[in-house]
Protein backbone atom coordinates (compact mmCIF):
# COMPACT_ATOMS: atom_id res chain seq x y z
CA UNK A 1 0.00 0.00 0.00
CA UNK A 2 1.23 3.53 -0.64
CA UNK A 3 3.13 5.24 2.10
CA UNK A 4 6.69 5.18 3.35
CA UNK A 5 8.01 3.00 6.14
CA UNK A 6 8.68 6.06 8.25
CA UNK A 7 5.11 7.23 7.77
CA UNK A 8 3.79 3.88 8.86
CA UNK A 9 6.04 3.86 11.91
CA UNK A 10 4.79 7.33 12.78
CA UNK A 11 1.31 5.93 13.21
CA UNK A 12 2.30 3.13 15.56
CA UNK A 13 1.02 2.95 19.07
CA UNK A 14 4.59 3.59 20.12
CA UNK A 15 3.82 3.71 23.83
CA UNK A 16 1.78 0.53 23.91
CA UNK A 17 3.35 -2.46 25.64
CA UNK A 18 3.17 -5.95 24.18
CA UNK A 19 -0.47 -6.94 24.41
CA UNK A 20 -2.38 -10.14 25.01
CA UNK A 21 -4.95 -11.28 22.52
CA UNK A 22 -8.23 -11.39 24.35
CA UNK A 23 -7.07 -9.25 27.28
CA UNK A 24 -9.65 -8.42 30.00
CA UNK A 25 -12.52 -6.17 29.00
CA UNK A 26 -15.31 -6.94 26.57
CA UNK A 27 -13.56 -10.20 25.67
CA UNK A 28 -13.63 -11.21 29.32
CA UNK A 29 -17.36 -10.56 29.53
CA UNK A 30 -17.89 -12.62 26.38
CA UNK A 31 -15.75 -15.35 27.93
CA UNK A 32 -18.08 -15.52 30.93
CA UNK A 33 -21.25 -15.73 28.82
CA UNK A 34 -20.10 -17.72 25.83
CA UNK A 35 -21.56 -21.05 27.00
CA UNK A 36 -25.08 -19.67 27.68
CA UNK A 37 -24.94 -17.79 24.38
CA UNK A 38 -23.95 -21.00 22.59
CA UNK A 39 -26.94 -22.80 24.11
CA UNK A 40 -29.22 -19.95 23.04
CA UNK A 41 -27.80 -20.08 19.51
CA UNK A 42 -28.47 -23.81 19.24
CA UNK A 43 -32.03 -23.27 20.48
CA UNK A 44 -32.60 -20.51 17.89
CA UNK A 45 -31.28 -22.71 15.08
CA UNK A 46 -33.43 -25.63 16.23
CA UNK A 47 -36.47 -23.35 16.50
CA UNK A 48 -35.95 -22.06 12.97
CA UNK A 49 -35.70 -25.59 11.58
CA UNK A 50 -38.76 -26.70 13.54
CA UNK A 51 -40.67 -23.79 12.02
CA UNK A 52 -39.62 -24.72 8.47
CA UNK A 53 -40.41 -28.39 9.14
CA UNK A 54 -43.87 -27.43 10.37
CA UNK A 55 -44.54 -25.55 7.15
CA UNK A 56 -43.22 -28.46 5.05
CA UNK A 57 -45.16 -31.03 7.08
CA UNK A 58 -43.50 -33.33 9.59
CA UNK A 59 -44.70 -36.45 7.81
CA UNK A 60 -42.97 -35.27 4.61
CA UNK A 61 -39.78 -34.32 6.46
CA UNK A 62 -39.49 -37.71 8.15
CA UNK A 63 -40.20 -39.48 4.87
CA UNK A 64 -37.54 -37.51 2.95
CA UNK A 65 -34.93 -37.90 5.71
CA UNK A 66 -34.68 -41.63 5.01
CA UNK A 67 -32.63 -43.45 3.89
CA UNK A 68 -29.35 -41.77 4.74
CA UNK A 69 -25.96 -42.45 3.17
CA UNK A 70 -23.45 -42.11 6.04
CA UNK A 71 -20.42 -42.36 3.77
CA UNK A 72 -20.81 -38.64 3.04
CA UNK A 73 -20.32 -37.63 6.67
CA UNK A 74 -16.54 -37.81 6.31
CA UNK A 75 -16.61 -35.26 3.46
CA UNK A 76 -18.68 -32.88 5.57
CA UNK A 77 -16.28 -33.06 8.51
CA UNK A 78 -13.21 -32.78 6.27
CA UNK A 79 -14.77 -29.75 4.61
CA UNK A 80 -14.95 -27.89 7.91
CA UNK A 81 -11.32 -28.69 8.76
CA UNK A 82 -10.18 -27.41 5.37
CA UNK A 83 -12.44 -24.37 5.64
CA UNK A 84 -10.80 -23.35 8.92
CA UNK A 85 -7.33 -23.86 7.44
CA UNK A 86 -8.18 -21.77 4.39
CA UNK A 87 -9.73 -18.92 6.36
CA UNK A 88 -6.76 -18.86 8.73
CA UNK A 89 -4.37 -18.49 5.78
CA UNK A 90 -6.48 -15.66 4.33
CA UNK A 91 -6.76 -13.94 7.73
CA UNK A 92 -2.98 -14.01 8.27
CA UNK A 93 -2.38 -12.60 4.80
CA UNK A 94 -4.78 -9.70 5.38
CA UNK A 95 -3.16 -8.89 8.74
CA UNK A 96 0.16 -8.62 6.89
CA UNK A 97 -1.12 -6.00 4.43
CA UNK A 98 0.79 -2.72 4.39
CA UNK A 99 4.10 -4.28 5.39
CA UNK A 100 3.04 -5.66 8.77
CA UNK A 101 4.30 -8.90 10.20
CA UNK A 102 1.38 -11.38 10.12
CA UNK A 103 -0.05 -12.82 13.29
CA UNK A 104 1.55 -16.15 14.26
CA UNK A 105 -0.31 -19.08 12.79
CA UNK A 106 -1.46 -20.35 16.20
CA UNK A 107 -2.84 -16.92 17.17
CA UNK A 108 -4.60 -16.53 13.83
CA UNK A 109 -6.09 -20.02 14.02
CA UNK A 110 -7.49 -19.32 17.48
CA UNK A 111 -9.01 -15.99 16.41
CA UNK A 112 -10.57 -17.54 13.29
CA UNK A 113 -11.93 -20.57 15.14
CA UNK A 114 -13.35 -18.41 17.95
CA UNK A 115 -14.93 -16.12 15.36
CA UNK A 116 -16.90 -19.02 13.94
CA UNK A 117 -18.33 -19.82 17.37
CA UNK A 118 -22.06 -19.28 17.84
CA UNK A 119 -21.53 -17.09 20.91
CA UNK A 120 -20.33 -13.78 19.39
CA UNK A 121 -23.21 -11.30 19.57
CA UNK A 122 -21.33 -8.97 17.24
CA UNK A 123 -20.46 -11.75 14.81
CA UNK A 124 -17.07 -13.26 14.06
CA UNK A 125 -15.77 -9.98 12.65
CA UNK A 126 -16.24 -8.40 16.10
CA UNK A 127 -13.98 -11.11 17.54
CA UNK A 128 -11.44 -10.42 14.78
CA UNK A 129 -11.47 -6.66 15.35
CA UNK A 130 -11.17 -6.96 19.12
CA UNK A 131 -8.30 -9.42 18.82
CA UNK A 132 -6.42 -7.12 16.44
CA UNK A 133 -7.05 -4.14 18.75
CA UNK A 134 -5.65 -6.05 21.69
CA UNK A 135 -2.69 -7.31 19.64
CA UNK A 136 -1.54 -3.71 19.15
CA UNK A 137 -3.08 -2.73 15.84
CA UNK A 138 -4.38 0.81 15.58
CA UNK A 139 -8.17 1.00 16.00
CA UNK A 140 -8.67 2.26 12.45
CA UNK A 141 -6.38 -0.42 11.06
CA UNK A 142 -8.22 -3.18 12.91
CA UNK A 143 -11.53 -2.00 11.48
CA UNK A 144 -10.17 -1.61 7.95
CA UNK A 145 -8.47 -5.01 7.95
CA UNK A 146 -11.63 -6.75 9.17
CA UNK A 147 -13.73 -4.93 6.57
CA UNK A 148 -11.11 -5.85 3.97
CA UNK A 149 -11.44 -9.49 5.00
CA UNK A 150 -15.19 -9.22 4.47
CA UNK A 151 -14.65 -7.65 1.06
CA UNK A 152 -12.29 -10.50 0.17
CA UNK A 153 -15.00 -13.02 1.11
CA UNK A 154 -17.39 -11.55 -1.44
CA UNK A 155 -14.65 -10.91 -4.01
CA UNK A 156 -14.06 -14.68 -4.16
CA UNK A 157 -17.59 -16.05 -3.66
CA UNK A 158 -19.62 -13.59 -5.74
CA UNK A 159 -17.80 -14.06 -9.08
CA UNK A 160 -17.95 -17.85 -8.70
CA UNK A 161 -21.70 -17.62 -8.06
CA UNK A 162 -22.09 -15.26 -11.02
CA UNK A 163 -20.39 -17.77 -13.33
CA UNK A 164 -22.54 -20.60 -11.94
CA UNK A 165 -25.71 -18.56 -12.46
CA UNK A 166 -24.78 -17.70 -16.05
CA UNK A 167 -24.05 -21.37 -16.76
CA UNK A 168 -27.49 -22.34 -15.41
CA UNK A 169 -29.16 -19.64 -17.53
CA UNK A 170 -27.37 -20.84 -20.66
CA UNK A 171 -28.38 -24.45 -20.14
CA UNK A 172 -32.00 -23.54 -19.45
CA UNK A 173 -32.04 -24.68 -15.82
CA UNK A 174 -35.36 -24.88 -14.01
CA UNK A 175 -33.90 -22.90 -11.09
CA UNK A 176 -35.70 -19.67 -10.25
CA UNK A 177 -34.86 -17.19 -13.02
CA UNK A 178 -35.04 -14.07 -10.88
CA UNK A 179 -32.40 -15.50 -8.54
CA UNK A 180 -30.11 -16.44 -11.44
CA UNK A 181 -30.43 -13.08 -13.17
CA UNK A 182 -29.75 -11.21 -9.93
CA UNK A 183 -26.41 -12.98 -9.62
CA UNK A 184 -25.58 -12.72 -13.34
CA UNK A 185 -26.22 -8.97 -13.49
CA UNK A 186 -25.71 -7.78 -9.93
CA UNK A 187 -22.22 -9.16 -9.31
CA UNK A 188 -20.39 -7.44 -12.22
CA UNK A 189 -22.21 -4.19 -11.49
CA UNK A 190 -21.52 -4.41 -7.75
CA UNK A 191 -17.84 -5.22 -8.15
CA UNK A 192 -17.36 -2.39 -10.64
CA UNK A 193 -19.09 0.15 -8.39
CA UNK A 194 -17.20 -1.05 -5.31
CA UNK A 195 -13.77 -0.85 -6.91
CA UNK A 196 -14.59 2.53 -8.47
CA UNK A 197 -15.88 4.02 -5.21
CA UNK A 198 -12.93 2.69 -3.18
CA UNK A 199 -10.24 4.28 -5.36
CA UNK A 200 -7.84 6.31 -3.14
CA UNK A 201 -8.74 9.72 -4.57
CA UNK A 202 -12.46 9.13 -4.03
CA UNK A 203 -11.91 7.86 -0.49
CA UNK A 204 -10.14 11.11 0.35
CA UNK A 205 -13.31 13.07 -0.45
CA UNK A 206 -15.26 11.43 2.38
CA UNK A 207 -12.47 11.21 4.96
CA UNK A 208 -13.36 14.29 6.98
CA UNK A 209 -16.74 14.68 8.64
CA UNK A 210 -19.02 13.18 11.23
CA UNK A 211 -19.57 9.63 12.39
CA UNK A 212 -21.48 8.58 9.28
CA UNK A 213 -18.76 9.82 6.94
CA UNK A 214 -16.08 8.13 9.03
CA UNK A 215 -17.99 4.86 8.90
CA UNK A 216 -18.35 5.20 5.13
CA UNK A 217 -14.66 5.99 4.84
CA UNK A 218 -13.72 2.86 6.83
CA UNK A 219 -15.99 0.76 4.64
CA UNK A 220 -14.39 2.16 1.49
CA UNK A 221 -10.92 1.66 2.97
CA UNK A 222 -11.83 -1.96 3.63
CA UNK A 223 -12.97 -2.47 0.04
CA UNK A 224 -9.87 -0.53 -1.00
CA UNK A 225 -7.71 -3.30 0.44
CA UNK A 226 -8.79 -5.34 -2.59
CA UNK A 227 -6.77 -2.92 -4.74
CA UNK A 228 -3.66 -3.90 -2.81
CA UNK A 229 -4.48 -7.62 -2.99
CA UNK A 230 -5.14 -7.42 -6.73
CA UNK A 231 -1.99 -5.39 -7.45
CA UNK A 232 0.20 -7.89 -5.59
CA UNK A 233 -1.38 -11.31 -6.15
CA UNK A 234 1.87 -13.16 -5.45
CA UNK A 235 2.59 -11.33 -2.20
CA UNK A 236 -0.95 -11.97 -0.99
CA UNK A 237 -1.43 -15.34 -2.66
CA UNK A 238 -2.45 -16.86 0.69
CA UNK A 239 -5.37 -14.43 0.90
CA UNK A 240 -6.71 -15.59 -2.46
CA UNK A 241 -6.11 -19.32 -2.24
CA UNK A 242 -7.05 -19.39 1.45
CA UNK A 243 -10.42 -17.73 0.88
CA UNK A 244 -11.04 -19.90 -2.20
CA UNK A 245 -10.31 -23.00 -0.13
CA UNK A 246 -12.63 -21.78 2.62
CA UNK A 247 -15.60 -21.31 0.30
CA UNK A 248 -14.95 -24.50 -1.68
CA UNK A 249 -14.66 -26.56 1.50
CA UNK A 250 -17.79 -25.09 3.09
CA UNK A 251 -19.77 -25.62 -0.11
CA UNK A 252 -18.45 -29.19 -0.14
CA UNK A 253 -19.94 -29.59 3.33
CA UNK A 254 -23.34 -28.52 1.99
CA UNK A 255 -22.93 -30.90 -0.96
CA UNK A 256 -22.12 -33.72 1.47
CA UNK A 257 -25.30 -32.89 3.42
CA UNK A 258 -27.31 -33.10 0.19
CA UNK A 259 -25.82 -36.46 -0.73
CA UNK A 260 -26.31 -37.71 2.83
CA UNK A 261 -30.04 -37.71 2.12
CA UNK A 262 -29.75 -38.90 -1.46
CA UNK A 263 -30.15 -35.51 -3.16
CA UNK A 264 -28.22 -35.20 -6.43
CA UNK A 265 -27.65 -31.53 -7.16
CA UNK A 266 -25.18 -30.20 -9.71
CA UNK A 267 -22.20 -28.07 -8.74
CA UNK A 268 -23.67 -24.88 -10.22
CA UNK A 269 -27.01 -25.33 -8.45
CA UNK A 270 -25.24 -26.05 -5.17
CA UNK A 271 -23.09 -22.92 -5.44
CA UNK A 272 -26.03 -20.66 -6.28
CA UNK A 273 -28.23 -22.12 -3.53
CA UNK A 274 -25.41 -21.81 -0.99
CA UNK A 275 -24.62 -18.19 -1.86
CA UNK A 276 -28.27 -17.15 -1.93
CA UNK A 277 -28.84 -18.78 1.45
CA UNK A 278 -26.11 -16.60 2.93
CA UNK A 279 -27.57 -13.11 2.53
CA UNK A 280 -24.67 -12.21 4.82
CA UNK A 281 -21.80 -14.55 5.65
CA UNK A 282 -21.77 -16.35 8.98
CA UNK A 283 -18.88 -14.23 10.34
CA UNK A 284 -20.83 -11.01 9.74
CA UNK A 285 -24.02 -12.12 11.52
CA UNK A 286 -24.59 -12.39 15.29
CA UNK A 287 -24.29 -15.89 16.76
CA UNK A 288 -22.96 -17.32 13.45
CA UNK A 289 -26.17 -16.36 11.69
CA UNK A 290 -28.39 -18.88 13.47
CA UNK A 291 -32.06 -18.59 12.69
CA UNK A 292 -31.83 -16.53 9.52
CA UNK A 293 -29.40 -18.88 7.76
CA UNK A 294 -31.50 -22.00 8.41
CA UNK A 295 -34.60 -20.39 6.90
CA UNK A 296 -32.86 -18.70 3.96
CA UNK A 297 -30.80 -21.74 3.02
CA UNK A 298 -33.85 -24.01 3.08
CA UNK A 299 -35.70 -21.58 0.82
CA UNK A 300 -32.77 -21.17 -1.57
CA UNK A 301 -32.55 -24.94 -1.96
CA UNK A 302 -36.20 -25.01 -3.02
CA UNK A 303 -35.41 -22.38 -5.66
CA UNK A 304 -32.97 -24.78 -7.35
CA UNK A 305 -35.39 -27.69 -7.27
CA UNK A 306 -35.01 -29.35 -3.84
CA UNK A 307 -38.28 -29.99 -2.01
CA UNK A 308 -38.81 -28.04 1.19
CA UNK A 309 -39.33 -31.23 3.20
CA UNK A 310 -35.99 -32.57 1.90
CA UNK A 311 -34.25 -29.24 2.51
CA UNK A 312 -34.98 -29.40 6.25
CA UNK A 313 -32.78 -32.43 7.10
CA UNK A 314 -30.17 -31.23 4.59
CA UNK A 315 -29.86 -27.83 6.27
CA UNK A 316 -29.93 -29.48 9.71
CA UNK A 317 -27.01 -31.74 8.77
CA UNK A 318 -25.07 -28.86 7.21
CA UNK A 319 -25.52 -26.64 10.24
CA UNK A 320 -24.57 -29.47 12.56
CA UNK A 321 -21.26 -29.56 10.72
CA UNK A 322 -20.47 -25.86 10.46
CA UNK A 323 -22.02 -24.63 13.73
CA UNK A 324 -22.51 -27.44 16.26
CA UNK A 325 -19.33 -29.30 15.27
CA UNK A 326 -17.29 -26.12 15.75
CA UNK A 327 -18.82 -25.12 19.09
CA UNK A 328 -16.34 -26.97 21.31
CA UNK A 329 -13.24 -25.99 19.26
CA UNK A 330 -14.49 -22.38 19.16
CA UNK A 331 -15.06 -22.28 22.92
CA UNK A 332 -11.61 -23.76 23.49
CA UNK A 333 -9.96 -21.34 21.05
CA UNK A 334 -11.67 -18.34 22.62
CA UNK A 335 -10.45 -19.44 26.03
CA UNK A 336 -6.88 -19.53 24.68
CA UNK A 337 -6.89 -16.04 23.14
CA UNK A 338 -5.61 -14.44 26.33
CA UNK A 339 -2.61 -16.78 26.47
CA UNK A 340 -0.99 -15.53 23.27
CA UNK A 341 1.36 -12.58 23.41
CA UNK A 342 2.68 -10.38 20.69
CA UNK A 343 6.13 -8.82 20.77
CA UNK A 344 4.81 -5.35 20.04
CA UNK A 345 2.32 -3.30 18.02
CA UNK A 346 2.54 -3.47 14.23
CA UNK A 347 2.73 -0.43 11.96
CA UNK A 348 -0.55 1.16 11.00
CA UNK A 349 -2.02 1.08 7.54
CA UNK A 350 -1.25 4.30 5.66
CA UNK A 351 -4.20 6.43 4.74
CA UNK A 352 -4.95 6.71 1.02
CA UNK A 353 -3.25 9.49 -0.90
CA UNK A 354 -4.36 10.98 -4.15
CA UNK A 355 -2.35 9.96 -7.16
Q: How many CB atoms lie within 10 A of CB 34?
A: 20
Q: At what angle do helices 325-336 and 73-95 cross, to 10 degrees?
A: 30
The length of the chain, given as a count of residues: 355
In whole angstroms, give the CA distance from residue 319 to residue 341: 33
Q: H or E segment at 207? A: none
Cis before residue 67, ω within 30 degrees of 0?
yes
Residue at 18 is within a domain: no
Residue at 348 is within a domain: no
Q: At what angle do helices 237-260 and 139-170 cross, to 10 degrees?
A: 50
Lowest-confidence range among 150-154, 155-159, 225-229? 225-229
pLDDT band of residue 100 (cuts 50, 70, 90) is: confident
Distances, alpha carbon 315 to alpha carbons 82, 194, 259, 332, in Å: 20, 32, 12, 25
- 58-76 pLDDT, tens digit per residue, is 999 999 999 999 999 999 9
In whole angstroms, give the CA distance from residue 69 to residue 219: 44
Q: At 20, phi and psi to the nearest 5?
A: -85, 140
Q: Is the pLDDT of residue 87 over 90?
A: yes
How confident is the model at residue 141, as a pLDDT? 83
Residue at 17 is within a domain: no
* Domain, as residue range, for 264: 30-339
How confident is the model at residue 278, as a pLDDT? 84
Q: What does DSSP assign to residue 71?
A: G
b/e string for 142-159 if b means 16 or more Cβ within 10 A?
Answer: bbbbbbbbbbbbbbbbbe
Residue at 350 is within a domain: no
How many structural domains does the chain have?
1
Residue at 245 is within a domain: yes
Q: Is the pLDDT of residue 49 over 70?
A: yes
In whole angstroms, give the CA distance from residue 22 to residue 114: 11
- 262-302 pLDDT, tens digit per residue, is 999 999 999 999 999 986 677 888 888 899 999 999 999 99
C-alpha dihedral sign at 201, 11, 122, 239: positive
Q: Is the pLDDT of residue 35 over 80?
A: yes
Residue at 10 is within a domain: no
Lowest-confidence range among 12-16, 50-54, 292-296? 12-16
Q: Is the pLDDT of residue 154 over 60?
A: yes
In whole angstroms, give the CA distance from residue 204 to residue 99: 22
Residue at 203 is within a domain: yes
Global pTM value: 0.84
- 213-265 pLDDT, tens digit per residue, is 666 666 777 777 888 898 899 999 999 999 999 999 999 999 999 999 999 99
- 165-200 pLDDT, tens digit per residue, is 999 999 999 999 999 999 999 999 988 887 777 766
How confident is the model at residue 112, as a pLDDT? 94
The separation between CA 342 and the C-alpha centre of its own chain, rounded to angstroms, equals: 25
Q: How many CB atoms lie within 10 A of CB 37?
A: 17
Amino acid sequence: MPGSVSARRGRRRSSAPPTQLGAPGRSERLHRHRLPLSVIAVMIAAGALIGVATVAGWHNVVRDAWPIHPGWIALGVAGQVLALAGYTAAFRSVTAAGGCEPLPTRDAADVVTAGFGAFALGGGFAVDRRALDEAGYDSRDSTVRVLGLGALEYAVLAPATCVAAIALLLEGSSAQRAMLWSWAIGVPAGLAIGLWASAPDRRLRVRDGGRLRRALCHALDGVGMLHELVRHPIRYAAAWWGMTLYWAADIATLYAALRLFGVHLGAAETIVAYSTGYAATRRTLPLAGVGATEVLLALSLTWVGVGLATAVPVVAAYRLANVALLLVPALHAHGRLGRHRRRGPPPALPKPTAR
